[in-house]
């Protein structure tokens, strides 16, 4: 696999505030990669540098082989960007807007195909201002992918979605990834990162404090299991043995038995609250 995003020693300061304090990152083409972190951690600054919207103080950055501080028109046509908030032409219909944006790209997708892909075929002739919040967000995604991008940036894409809309959106992103689109996702929803991303990075105070696949991030897969039952609980490295002991104690049926390992949210909170952060 070739590299879609290469970052080494990235730094950015605003006055006395060190927003990004030496980030290294490698994202392969075709990956879905999520960046997690609390507000003010440096996520947005990092992503804006990758998109070419913000300059860096130091470090090496290549996005699809190009330095974002030296963008070309051809390079920009390879990117799709879905911002956290977007100002749209609310008086246009969905179809008019998507067709208009398609004209900006040399190898755009078919507008009606994209509208169908984001689940808005029945709303294609409705003015954008009459759409629900979730439907307007789908328009944002349609505009992000209409240029047939090699790399898609998604910034908090499902903020304000109801649970059903979020699940439908996840299916859309999985479909784009299956087509080979590289996706960089920032989100506050840990279940979203776990459902979509093959790898995640946690940023805190301008540094990456952990990186890996969601199942093993921060030692998650090897962490102690918690065995709970009616009247007690215990953390253990050998949950099966403990359950067997409890089964003998309770004559086979353990009341209120539950066995769990740390969730991604548990690991995330531990990482961003660690003393070294």
CA 211 from chain center: how many Å?
Answer: 13
When the pLDDT of each residue in the chain is averaged and rounded to a whole number, the result is 88
User: How far is the CA of 272 from the CAs of 67, 147, 267, in angstroms?
Assistant: 30, 36, 9
d(CA 211, CA 201): 4
Average pLDDT of the residues in 52-80: 94
Instruction: Look at residue 206 and tell me if it is in a domain.
Output: yes
Q: What percent of the chain has pLDDT over 70?
A: 95
Instruction: Look at residue 104 and tell me if it is in a domain.
Output: no
How high is the pLDDT of residue 85? 62
Instruction: Look at residue 239 and tell me if it is in a domain.
Output: yes
Instruction: Please tell me whether residues 249 and 209 are part of one structural domain.
Output: no
How high is the pLDDT of residue 274? 65
d(CA 169, CA 149): 18
Here the tokens at position 182 are 């590289």
Instruction: Please tell me whether residues 256 and 202 are part of one structural domain.
Output: no
pLDDT of residue 88 exceeding 70:
no
Instruction: Please tell me whether residues 198 and 236 are part of one structural domain.
Output: no
Instruction: Please tell me whether residues 57 and 29 are part of one structural domain.
Output: yes
Residues in the chain: 277
How high is the pLDDT of residue 217? 81
Average pLDDT of the residues in 56-74: 95
Instruction: Look at residue 44 and tell me if it is in a domain.
Output: yes
User: In this structure, what CATH number is given to the domain that contains residue 187?
Assistant: 3.40.50.300
Coil, strand or helix: which one is 250?
coil
Instruction: Look at residue 120 and tell me if it is in a domain.
Output: no
The domain containing residue 254 runs over which residues?
224-260
Q: 19-28, 87-96, 235-244: lowest mean pLDDT where?
A: 87-96
Instruction: Please tell me whether residues 34 and 62 are part of one structural domain.
Output: yes
pLDDT digits (tens, 9 = 90+) for 209-242: 989 888 878 776 677 888 889 888 888 888 889 8
Instruction: Please tell me whether residues 252 and 275 are part of one structural domain.
Output: no
Instruction: Please tell me whether residues 206 and 251 are part of one structural domain.
Output: no
Instruction: Look at residue 250 and tell me if it is in a domain.
Output: yes
Instruction: Please tell me whether residues 209 and 247 are part of one structural domain.
Output: no
Side by side, the strands of the sheet bearing 258-260 are: 232-236, 225-229, 258-260
Give the chain's domain count: 2
Instruction: Look at residue 177 and tell me if it is in a domain.
Output: no
Here the tokens at position 8 are 């080494």
Instruction: Please tell me whether residues 187 and 246 are part of one structural domain.
Output: no
Average pLDDT of the residues in 122-151: 89
Instruction: Look at residue 122 and tell me if it is in a domain.
Output: no
Here the tokens at position 80 are 């799709």
Q: What is the largest CA-CA distance in the chain?
A: 72
Instruction: Please tell me whether residues 64 and 6 are part of one structural domain.
Output: yes
Give 87's pLDDT tier (boundaries 50, 70, 90): low
């Amino acid at each position: 696999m070739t590299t879609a995003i290469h970052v080494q020693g990235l730094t950015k300061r605003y006055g006395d505030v060190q927003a990004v304090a030496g980030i290294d990152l490698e994202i392969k083409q075709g990956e879905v990669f999520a960046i997690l972190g609390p507000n003010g951690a440096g996520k947005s600054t990092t992503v804006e540098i990758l998109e070419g919207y913000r300059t860096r103080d130091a470090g090496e950055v290549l996005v699809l082989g190009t330095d974002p501080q030296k963008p070309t028109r051809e390079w920009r046509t390879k990117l799709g960007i879905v911002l956290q908030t977007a100002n749209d032409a609310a008086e246009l219909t969905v179809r008019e807007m998507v067709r208009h944006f398609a004209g900006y790209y040399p190898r755009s997708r078919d507008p009606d195909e994209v509208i169908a892909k984001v689940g808005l075929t029945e709303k294609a002739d409705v003015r954008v201002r009459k759409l629900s919040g979730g439907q307007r967000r789908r328009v944002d995604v349609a505009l992000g992918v209409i240029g047939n991008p090699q790399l898609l940036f998604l910034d908090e894409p499902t903020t304000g979605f109801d649970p059903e809309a979020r699940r439908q959106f996840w299916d859309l992103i999985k479909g784009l990834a299956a087509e080979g689109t590289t996706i960089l996702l920032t989100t506050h929803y840990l279940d979203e990162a776990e459902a979509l991303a093959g790898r995640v990075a946690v940023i805190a105070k301008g540094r990456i404090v952990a990186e890996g696949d969601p199942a093993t991030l921060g030692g998650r897969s090897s962490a102690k299991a918690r065995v709970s039952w009616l009247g007690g609980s215990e953390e253990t490295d050998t949950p099966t043995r403990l359950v067997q002991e409890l089964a003998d104690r309770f004559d086979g049926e353990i009341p209120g038995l539950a066995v769990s390992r740390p969730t991604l949210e548990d690991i995330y909170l531990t990482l961003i609250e660690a003393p070294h952060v």
